[in-house]
Amino acid sequence: MSAENPDTKFIVPVKGVEKSIKLDDRAKKELQSIGMMDEKGKLKLKGVSPKMLKRMKLEAVDCPVFEKELGFIQCYVCSNFHSRTMGKVYCKGEPLT
């Protein structure tokens, strides 16, 4: 899918899941390096309330970059994340190093 924004390569729908999808080690290291997770593994997303964070943990996307289902939090902190509007994530779709 293409979007109006030239930076966006994919529009991915957000879906609800019954059990939160665990973050992989790569995502945890990235979150810790940018200060969004402490050493104990507790998330601290700036500007996100605890209630919203709890809801975000129960959401997932079919990631076109990793080609698998990922938790929305992992998508949210990805460098390809552009924005989220009305249940859809706008993804830049660039390869990750």
Residue 4 included in any domain: no
Mean pLDDT (the chain) is 87
What confidence score (pLDDT) does residue 27 get? 82
- Asked if 54 contacts 71 with a C-beta cutoff of 8 angstroms, the reply is no
Specify the number of domains making up the chain: 1
What confidence score (pLDDT) does residue 28 get? 85
Q: Could you tell me the pLDDT band of residue 37, with boundaries at 50, 70 and 90?
A: confident
Tokens of 66: 């990793």
Q: What is the pLDDT of residues 38-54, one digit of tens each?
A: 888 888 877 888 898 89
- pTM, rounded to two decimals: 0.81
Residue 45 included in any domain: yes
- Asked if 15 contacts 6 with a C-beta cutoff of 8 angstroms, the reply is no
Residue 35 included in any domain: yes
Residue 5 included in any domain: no
- Higher-confidence position of 4 and 21: 21
- The residue written with tokens 């609800």 in the block is 16
What would the mean pLDDT of 69-95 be, rounded to a whole number? 91
What gap in Å lies between CA 27 and CA 66, rounded to an integer? 12
Residue 15 included in any domain: yes
Residue 1 included in any domain: no
- Asked if 3 contacts 82 with a C-beta cutoff of 8 angstroms, the reply is no
Beta partners for residue 83, in sequence order: 90
What gap in Å lies between CA 38 and CA 95, rounded to an integer? 27
Residue 81, domain extent: 10-91
What confidence score (pLDDT) does residue 3 get? 46
